Amino acid sequence: MRLSVYGAAGEVTGSCYVLETARARVMIDFGLHQGGREEDEHNRTRVPPDLRRFDAVVVTHAHIDHIGRLPLLAGAGFSGPIYASDATADLIPIMLRDTARLQEADAARDLRRQGPEKARPALYTSDEVEKILPRVRRVPMQSLTEIAPGVKVRLVDSGHMLGSASIELRAADGPGTPERVIIFSGDIGPWGMPLLRDPRCPAPADGVKVDLAIMESTYGDRDHRPLGETVEEANNIVREATWDKQRLLIPAFAVGRSQVIVYYLGLIIQSGRAPRFPVYLDSPMAIEAMELYKRHTELLDADAHAQIQAGTFPLDIPELRYCRSAEESKRLNDASGALAIIAGSGMCNGGRIIHHLRHGLWRKDVQVIIAGYQAAGTLGRQLVDGAKEVRIFGDTIPVRAKVHTLGGFSAHAGRTDLIRWATDLHKAASPRQWILTHGEDRQRRLLGEGLAPILGQTPAMPAFADHFEL
């Protein structure tokens, strides 16, 4: 059998793997490439062959760089099941509908600007999203489930976002032929973040050896700032801004980062160290995700459970206001006094945060808090890199707002946690071969150098369409 890498090879986005055995063809993740025009092109050109002929798809988690191209399967005539954890299955419609809307809006804008000759159509439409949603099937965490002839998967909590999983995949070419075991790390969360449980080791429960381990390497070159320091820095920024009646703009992924930020802003307000100020969650998607945190308390950590037992849900803070409609969002332009706006997208490459940045970046009484990964080519990356001016919707906007980058709120494990994860898996299941993906080349090379003495091998760093025989 053969495992091929069709995305996130030397880059962070576009995750996609294909396993082909003598009797089944399975895809693991089908994510969107995110960034600029080049990445957009890759969404159209770097696609596995024969999308129609897959028996099943399984996804690690609901981030768009892991599920964002599933609707292409609808267009190609795929009619098999798409397996996901319970919470991921709840998140997929929210995430994909939003992505289709953003793409349709981008395509319409492109058409106005470039004309019909040069304009690029949307990668897929809302209709294609609706066609793919009925294909989603729920698999329970922790138990082995057969998803295609001779192919079983077990999902294990990876501590990265609500419902996120590492996958243990077992496949046999035929009855009586030996099973091969592959571990997909998915995205690995950091240890010690609030709300979600820490990552669990996905080593097979029955002690069988792993043939191939495929591991993410997003932050393979460095550790994040310690969480405690980051929280203290956030405290100081928020206190200074709110005492000065300034506006805080916080681009954040709707699911995960937004909730962590709400959680910490709640703590700051409750501590009494800042004046009380409204926190606007300006994202219908993030609001829906808040509800899913309440529905999936089984995924929350011990501290969250202790709070729930005591009668309060960790994300219920009195200052929180929901902005559901675009009108409510626009009205925030006229609001005065100290306030915080949390809006998507997390990398500032779309969504309502763009409007807030357009109205706020040129102002000295605005502070921007960047608290997540910013892919190359995104507006968020330009801000992190200290751009003095940026282009938004064709206008040049000078950057006078203070831009802060907070390293410690990442939903991704830093280098030390990645090495911990790999060491645990190595000790429990000594994978025969290791592959690093989902990281820029520098990051995965440096992680590979750090792992080599522990694993007794230098992990492979596949390029697009490279494959591994098992």
- The answer to whether the CB of 226 falls within 8 A of the CB of 105 is no
CA 255 to CA 64: how far, in whole Å? 11
Ranked by CB distance to Zn ion, the top (closest) residue is 63
Instruction: Decide whether 129 or 413 has the Cβ nearer to Zn ion.
Output: 413
CB of 164 to Zn ion, least distance (A): 7
Burial of 433 (0-12, 13-18, 19+ CB in 10 A): middle
Instruction: Decide whether 90 or 187 has the Cβ nearer to Zn ion.
Output: 187
Instruction: Decide whether 98 or 187 has the Cβ nearer to Zn ion.
Output: 187
CB of 319 to Zn ion, least distance (A): 28
Residue 411 tokens, joined: 């939903």
The residue type at 303: D
Which segments of 257-319 does DSSP mark as H helices, in order?
Answer: 257-271, 284-295, 302-309
CB of 187 to Zn ion, least distance (A): 4
CB of 275 to Zn ion, least distance (A): 35
> By the criterion CB under 5 A, which residues form the site for Zn ion?
63, 187
Instruction: Decide whether 34 or 242 has the Cβ nearer to Zn ion.
Output: 34
Q: SS3 for 340?
A: strand
Instruction: Decide whether 63 or 170 has the Cβ nearer to Zn ion.
Output: 63
Instruction: Decide whether 238 or 285 has the Cβ nearer to Zn ion.
Output: 285
Across the beta sheet with 433-437, the strand order is 145-148, 151-157, 165-171, 180-184, 212-216, 433-437
Instruction: Decide whether 64 or 461 has the Cβ nearer to Zn ion.
Output: 64
Instruction: Decide whether 93 or 149 has the Cβ nearer to Zn ion.
Output: 93
Q: DSSP character for 300?
A: B
Instruction: Decide whether 1 or 375 has the Cβ nearer to Zn ion.
Output: 375
CB of 161 to Zn ion, least distance (A): 6
- The answer to whether the CB of 384 falls within 8 A of the CB of 410 is no
Neighbours of 182 (CB within 10 A): 25
CB of 248 to Zn ion, least distance (A): 25
CB of 184 to Zn ion, least distance (A): 13
Residue 459: what are its φ and ψ, rounded to 5°?
-60, 150
Handedness of CA 353, 341, 364, 403 (dihedral sign): negative
Instruction: Decide whether 68 or 314 has the Cβ nearer to Zn ion.
Output: 68
Which segments of 313-414 does DSSP mark as H helices, in order?
Answer: 326-331, 353-360, 379-384
CA 203 to chain centre: 23
Across the beta sheet with 56-58, the strand order is 136-138, 82-84, 56-58, 25-30, 16-20, 2-5, 467-469
User: Which letter, b or e, does each residue of 200-231 get, where b requires 16 or more Cβ atoms within 10 Å of its Cβ?
Assistant: bbbbbeeeeebbbbbbbbbbbbebbbebeebb
- The answer to whether the CB of 163 falls within 8 A of the CB of 197 is no
CB of 12 to Zn ion, least distance (A): 9
Instruction: Decide whether 63 or 180 has the Cβ nearer to Zn ion.
Output: 63
CB of 324 to Zn ion, least distance (A): 25
CB of 438 to Zn ion, least distance (A): 9
Q: What is the dihedral of CA 425, 203, 300, 249, to 10 degrees?
A: 50
CB of 29 to Zn ion, least distance (A): 10
R_g over Cα of the chain:
22
